């Protein structure tokens, strides 16, 4: 395994652990003080975040470079960032679908369990319908939302990726510029070794 692949793997594991800890602590801390409406709002937020990032990850994988090359030539805002995302599609999907998507999925499950426990306590019951019902609703919304999102991601990949590129441009965030420079340097080093 290449040194860069090992670094990448370690980085992903660390980011996943940190994201999981942050999301879990945030949800349990807020849920401890929140009423039922706020608790369900937090749960809905985790489900929506998971779906949105899943859609972006799939759109990046499905998008074609050609229109973005043309836009980047015309210096259209967000085109360069979008193009870099497409060129680094494997990393983008790893971050968005695997790290954020999966972590929010796990955390939404934990949040649903906490809400069910509070409901059971509030109604002084041990009826299994509370956890089963909430779990079924969360699963249905997550799976259904991601299924609809996948269709949208494939049909509107260019628009979605460009919108994300514009947001990155506006926030002056360019997460893959460094990896592009590293890739160019590695290619140059290989060419020099060959000659």
Task: Measure the CA angle with vertex 94, ends 90 and 100; round to 5°.
Answer: 150
Of 87, 108, 96, nearest to 55 (Cα)? Answer: 96
Each residue of 129-146: pLDDT tens digit? 888 899 899 999 999 999
pLDDT of residue 6: 80
> CB atoms < 10 A from the CB of 80, how many?
18
pLDDT of residue 129: 83
Percent of the chain, pLDDT > 70?
88
0.85 cut: is pTM over it?
A: no
Band of residue 192 on the pLDDT scale cut at 50, 70, 90: low
Residues written for the chain? 195
pLDDT of residue 179: 55
Please state the rounded mean pLDDT for residues 4-28: 81
DSSP sequence for the chain: --HHHHHHHHHHHHHHHHHHHHHHHHHHHHHHH--HHHHHHHHHHHHHHHHHHHHHHHHHHH--HHHHHHHHHTT-TTHHHHHHHHHTHHHHHIIIIIIIIHHHHHHHHHHHHHHHHHHHHHTT---THHHHHHHHHHHHHHHHHHHHHHHHHHHSHHHHHHHHHHHHHHHT--TTHHHHHHHHHHHHHHHHHH-
């Amino acid at each position: 395994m290449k040194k860069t692949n090992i670094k990448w793997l370690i980085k992903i594991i660390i980011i996943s652990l940190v994201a999981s800890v942050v999301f879990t602590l945030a949800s349990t801390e807020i849920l401890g003080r929140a009423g039922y409406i706020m608790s369900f709002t937090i749960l809905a937020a985790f489900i929506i975040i998971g779906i949105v990032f899943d859609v972006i990850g799939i759109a990046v994988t499905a998008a074609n470079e050609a229109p973005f090359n043309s836009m980047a030539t015309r210096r259209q805002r967000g085109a360069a960032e979008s193009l870099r995302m497409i060129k680094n599609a494997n990393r983008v999907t790893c971050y968005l679908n695997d790290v954020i998507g999966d972590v929010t999925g796990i955390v939404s499950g934990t949040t649903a369990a906490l809400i069910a426990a509070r409901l059971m306590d509030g109604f002084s019951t041990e009826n299994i319908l509370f956890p089963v019902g909430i779990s079924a609703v969360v699963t249905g919304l997550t799976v259904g939302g991601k299924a609809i999102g996948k269709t949208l991601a494939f049909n509107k990949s260019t628009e979605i990726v460009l919108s994300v590129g514009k947001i990155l441009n506006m926030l002056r965030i360019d997460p893959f510029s460094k990896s592009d420079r590293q890739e160019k340097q590695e290619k140059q080093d290989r060419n020099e070794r060959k000659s």
